[in-house]
């Protein structure tokens, strides 16, 4: 496998929100706040991990919509007739030959589909570990900069 290919991390947003106790609690209080917090954490991860990040949330309107801030991650909200699983699996199959694709979800069927297509799947716990490691690298980098 060509390790020089750019890497993409595709995240099943609602699956991760419901898997992490802190985000699940926030989601019960304010759905939008949980989405924003996950996006914030994934943006920090992208900044220090080198992966491009795409997060997909289930259902928001009549058609799939994409949002992106300059330098930020891609955020998709699926249409009512598509699930995040559908969009993630379609993206993985379409781009697995061009990019290193990793999908973060605890949905076993989604993981199996991505792996069968040639991608990699990680659990919500593994994603948390990656985000924590990226945050540690960021804090180390900031600490070294403040010494000057």
Residue 101 domain-assigned (yes or no):
yes
Question: What pLDDT sits at residue 84?
Answer: 93
CATH number at residue 26: 3.40.50
Q: Quickly state the pLDDT bin for 62 (edges 50, 70, 90).
A: low
Give the per-residue pLDDT at 79.
Answer: 84
Residue 97 inside a domain? The answer is yes
Q: What stretch of H or E contains 53? A: strand 52-57
Whether residue 86 is contained in a domain is answered as yes
Domain that holds residue 63: 7-140
Q: Could you tell me if residue 29 is inside a domain?
A: yes
Tell whether 1 is covered by a domain. no
* pLDDT band, very low/low/confident/very high, at 35 (cuts 50, 70, 90): very high
Which tokens hold the place of 60?
Answer: 């928001």
Closest CA to 31 of 51, 9, 59, 3: 59
Q: pLDDT value at position 50?
A: 84
Torsion over CA: 122, 123, 126, 128 (sign): positive
Q: Which helix (H) or strand (E) holds 30?
A: none
Q: Does residue 82 have a pLDDT over 60?
A: yes
Residue 2 belongs to some domain of the structure = no
Nearest by Cα to 63 from 76, 80, 75, 46: 80
Return the percentage of the chain with pLDDT > 90, whole number: 68
Q: Which pLDDT belongs to residue 2?
A: 47
pLDDT digits (tens, 9 = 90+) for 122-140: 999 999 999 999 888 888 8
Mean pLDDT (the chain, rounded): 89
Look at residue 136 and tell me if it is in a domain.
yes
Domains held by the chain: number: 1
Domain presence at residue 109: yes
Indicate whether 109 pLDDT > 70. Answer: yes
């Amino acid at each position: 496998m060509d390790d020089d290919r750019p890497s993409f991390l595709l995240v099943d947003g609602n699956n991760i929100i419901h898997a992490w106790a802190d985000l699940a609690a926030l989601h019960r209080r304010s759905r939008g706040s949980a989405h924003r917090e996950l996006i914030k954490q994934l943006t920090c991860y992208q900044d220090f991990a080198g992966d491009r990040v795409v997060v997909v949330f289930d259902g928001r309107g009549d058609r799939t919509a994409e949002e992106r801030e300059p330098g930020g991650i891609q955020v998709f909200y699926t249409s009512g007739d598509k699930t995040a699983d559908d969009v993630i699996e379609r993206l993985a199959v379409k781009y697995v030959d061009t990019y290193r694709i990793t999908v973060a979800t605890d949905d076993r069927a989604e993981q199996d589909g991505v792996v069968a297509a040639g991608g990699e799947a990680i659990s919500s716990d593994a994603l948390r570990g990656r985000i924590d490691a990226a945050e540690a690298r960021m804090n180390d980098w900031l600490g070294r900069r403040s010494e000057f």
